[in-house]
Amino acid sequence: MKVPALLLLFIAGTLGQSCVGRCGVNDGVSGCQCNSVCSNYGDCCSDYEAVCFSCKDRCGEGYVYSKPCQCNNECGSHGNCCSDYDVECGGGTGGGVTDTDLRNLMEELYSLDVNSVGNQLVLDHQGQGSSGDLAPESLFVSVPESALTGPTISLLRQLQDNYIPSVSFAEDEDAAEVAEQEAFLDAVMATQVMQRAETFLTEKNLLSGSLRDKLKEIWFMMYTRSGSILGSSGFEHVFVGELKNGVVSGFHNWVSFYQEELDGNLNYMGWSKTVDLGDKGEIIMDHFEWLGEPKSIGSMMVGTSPELDMAMFTVCFLARPDSKCPTQMNGHQFQVQTWTLNYNGHVLVGSAYPDI
């Protein structure tokens, strides 16, 4: 009697020789394994990638953290669908946001950005290295007033002086500061960059409702990084900077960097890597001291508009949370790392930064 091929595969799986029916399993007994860490130990079954990185015959299965990717109707909102989820399972829940989709979108956002001012800035990178003070002079040599008065950068600057650096002190948002937040959100949402990001997120079922509401929630809702003190937010951490436990935390925005350097509060100490973004600016990985505390490894987009930064971070936060998000601008590929922070039932931005 001829035994069906699928049955043979199932039998192989039960004998521990195949990953069919075993994705996410590490029984410690079988000769090969099928979980997300098997590649670290070199004991994956030969069909691990073909079976466990695909949704074929897995649609609707329950979530198991040790599976390398998921095939259920929640995977889109968590950014962990297998790449063929749309094809195999019918899509419709945010699955199938491929690396190519993300890179193509980021290039489009880059091309749509009209408020970047990289071509107006003059920088002095000085010494290259990852430690020690390799830069006796400031990073920013020349920043003309015209670079700071655009429709979104000017409103970003109004927001940046609203925060207390230490996460151990509660932030007190008054009506004027809330009004500045609202004006900033209105301005970035009026740009083609953010409107295109909203369309993409909606089409990929990563966003329900308005992007403006989502931005206000994930970036500006206050939370705690120190006991019960409401002394932090995603916006403050990324676009301003914070101090925690004797080190600089966050601080991934060039406008804040420039202002603190101008005020004598920041000592730029050198760079280790850069990515050329053409006339929009660049990405720099650097190290510095702020208010006397160290930042041993930092990174920021320099010259770009706040809407481009925030759109890029937000898309990656929703599509690839807590992981490296494939990105491309000006023909150069890099990654964006995002981290989530759960507070009172909300999933908020813990951090987001370019990883080059």
176-194 tens-digit pLDDT: 999 999 999 999 999 999 9
Please state the domain count of the chain.
2
Structural domain ending residue among the three candidates 52, 75, 92: 92
Q: Does residue 81 sit in the same domain as residue 161?
A: no
Catalytic one among 67, 204, 287, 295? Answer: 295
- d(CA 182, CA 216) in angstroms, rounded, equals 8
User: In the prediction, which pLDDT does 211 show?
Assistant: 98
Per-residue pLDDT band at 129 (split at 50, 70, 90) = very high
Q: How far apart are CA 322 and CA 340, in angstroms?
A: 6
Catalytic residue among 67, 214, 237, 244: 237
In a domain, 214, yes or no: yes
Work out the burial of residue 3: count CB atoms within 10 Å of its CB; fewer than 13 is exposed, 13-18 middle, 19 or more buried. Answer: exposed
Check whether 136 has a pLDDT greater than 90: yes
Residue 138 lies in a domain: yes
**Pick from 349, 254, 303, 295: which is nearest to 116 by CA?**
303
**What's the pLDDT tens digit per position in 246-262?**
999 999 999 999 999 99
Based on the fold, state whether residues 222 and 325 are members of the same structural domain. yes
On whether both 173 and 124 belong to a single domain, the answer is: yes
Residues 150 and 210 in one domain: yes
Note the pLDDT of residue 330: 98
Same domain, 161 and 295: yes
pLDDT band at 216 (very low <50, low <70, confident <90, very high): very high
CATH at 43: 4.10.410.20
Contact 225, 244 (CB under 8 A): yes
3 state SS for 128-167: ECCCCCCCCCCCEEECCHHHCCCCCHHHHHHHHCCCCCEC
pLDDT at 158: 97
Domain coverage including residue 173: 99-355
| Same domain for 300 and 228 | yes
Same domain, 48 and 137: no
Distance CA 85, CA 59 (A): 8
DSSP state of 116: -
- Whether 275 and 259 have beta carbons less than 8 Å apart is answered as no
Is 268 a domain residue? yes
What does pTM read for this prediction?
A: 0.76
Is 237 designated active site? yes
Q: Report the range of poorest mean pLDDT among 31-35, 155-159, 273-277, 289-293.
A: 31-35
Q: Does 270 reside within a domain?
A: yes
Q: What percent of the chain has pLDDT over 70?
A: 92
Residues 54 and 120 in one domain: no
pLDDT of residue 259: 98
Tokens found for residue 6: 């699928």
Q: Does 252 qualify as catalytic in the annotation?
A: yes
> Is residue 33 in a domain?
yes
The band of 89, judged by pLDDT with boundaries at 50, 70 and 90, is low
Q: What pLDDT was estimated at residue 96? A: 64
Flag whether pLDDT at 14 surpasses 50: no
120 lies in the same domain as 46:
no
**Same domain, residue pair 145 and 284:** yes
Among 69, 92, 115, the domain boundary falls at 92
Task: Evaluate whether residue 3 is within a structural domain.
Answer: no
Q: What is the CA 15 to chain-centroid distance, rounded?
A: 41
174 inside domain: yes
pLDDT-based confidence at 16, cuts 50/70/90? low
User: What pLDDT, on a 0 to 100 scale, did the predictor assign at position 77?
Assistant: 64
Residues 314, 195 share a domain? yes
Q: Are 156 and 239 in contact (CB under 8 A)?
A: yes
Average pLDDT over every residue of 292-315: 98
pLDDT at 62: 72
Which residues partner with 329 through β-bridges? 332
Q: How far apart (Å, rounded) are the C-alpha atoms in residues 193 and 195?
A: 6
Tell whether 317 and 255 lie within a shared domain: yes
Task: Answer with the residue of higher pLDDT: 203 or 91.
Answer: 203
| Count of other CB atoms within 10 angstroms of residue 328 | 18
Local structure of 203: helix, strand or coil? helix
Is 295 part of the annotated catalytic residue set? yes
Q: Would 231 be classed as within a structural domain?
A: yes
Given 92, 124, 154, which residue is the final one in a domain? 92
